[in-house]
Amino acid sequence: MDDSQKSTTDDSSKRSSYSAEWQNGIVIAMEQKILFDAVTTRPQILSLHNEPVVFVPTELTGKDNTAWVTAEISMQKEKKSGSLPPSVQLIGSLEVCYTDVCARCGADTSGEFTEHFRYRIFTGKEPEDAFAEKECSEDEVESLYLGGGENAGVIDIEELIKEQIYLNMPMQNICSSSCQGRCPGCGVNLNIAECRCEKDYSHSPFAALAKLKQKEKQQ
């Protein structure tokens, strides 16, 4: 972890009140959802600059799951075309930096990835015949149905970003491909210290055996 990342991590006030900017002048808070009906046929660009996003609650994994996200997301209303009802086309690119602990040695480590994604967003529930799926599969656009109920017609940008981070985050991070990990015997970090197992040989259950063998040799 370098110093610049540390200082941003410590800025906890930012976490609860960070905002995103629409390039056409409308400023919204990230927590605010975007109404499907408010998206126009003119593209609107949402930009995020190194904002903290907790993509999985800490309670679930026992570690800090904050990623630092720089994103550009464009949204545009598309009129009814063919068999498709009106939709919102969402095109996004993400640059994600994260910190983690090495799965081998436990040292702090960091990583980054970029990802591009596209959604075609519809109101209502997913139709049973999944007509949209067929038409969208060619250009790798994911269909998203906002469903009914309380959140009907609400596009939750933060949830989409979290989903993309979750899908692209490596299951296990390592500090380096040459990481030696920790000795299973003495637990020492083999990248920075030598194994102490031999020094502690006398405490090992094999020590008695070794002594016997030595005696045999001497005889």
Pick from 53, 88, 102, 157 the residue near Zn ion by CB under 5 A: 102
Residue 170 near Zn ion by CB under 5 A:
no
Pick from 77, 104, 162, 182 the residue near Zn ion by CB under 5 A: 104
Give the CA distances from residue 196 to residues 186, 203, 204, 209, 213, in Å, rounded to whole numbers and listed in that order.
Answer: 6, 12, 12, 19, 22
Q: Report phi then psi at 182, rounded to 5.
A: -115, 145
Residue 100 near Zn ion by CB under 5 A:
no
Q: Is 17 exposed, middle or buried (0-12, 13-18, 19+ CB in 10 A)?
A: exposed
Cα–Cα distance, 169 to 22 (Å, whole number): 27
Write the interaction track for Zn ion spanning residues 125-164; mark x where CB under 5 A is met and - where it is not.
----------------------------------------
Cα–Cα distance, 90 to 156 (Å, whole number): 12
Terminal Cα-to-Cα distance of the chain (whole angstroms): 58
Cα–Cα distance, 102 to 109 (Å, whole number): 6
Residue 183 near Zn ion by CB under 5 A:
yes
H/E stretch holding 157 reads helix 157-168
Using the minimum distance from each CB to Zn ion, give the nearer residue, 104 or 162.
104
Residue 195 near Zn ion by CB under 5 A:
yes
Using the minimum distance from each CB to Zn ion, give the nearer residue, 154 or 183.
183
Cα–Cα distance, 99 to 114 (Å, whole number): 15
Residue 101 near Zn ion by CB under 5 A:
no
Pick from 54, 101, 169, 179 the residue near Zn ion by CB under 5 A: 179
To Zn ion, the closest distance from the beta carbon of 207 in angstroms equals: 15
Residue 84 near Zn ion by CB under 5 A:
no
To Zn ion, the closest distance from the beta carbon of 179 in angstroms equals: 3
154-155 and 142-145 beta bridge pairing: unpaired
To Zn ion, the closest distance from the beta carbon of 17 in angstroms equals: 35
Scan for tokens 């491909």, then name that residue. Answer: 177
Binding piece for Zn ion, criterion CB under 5 A, among 9-17, 25-33, 66-74, 182-190? 182-190
Residue 182 near Zn ion by CB under 5 A:
no
**Contact set with Zn ion (CB under 5 A):** 102, 104-105, 175, 179, 183, 185-186, 195, 197
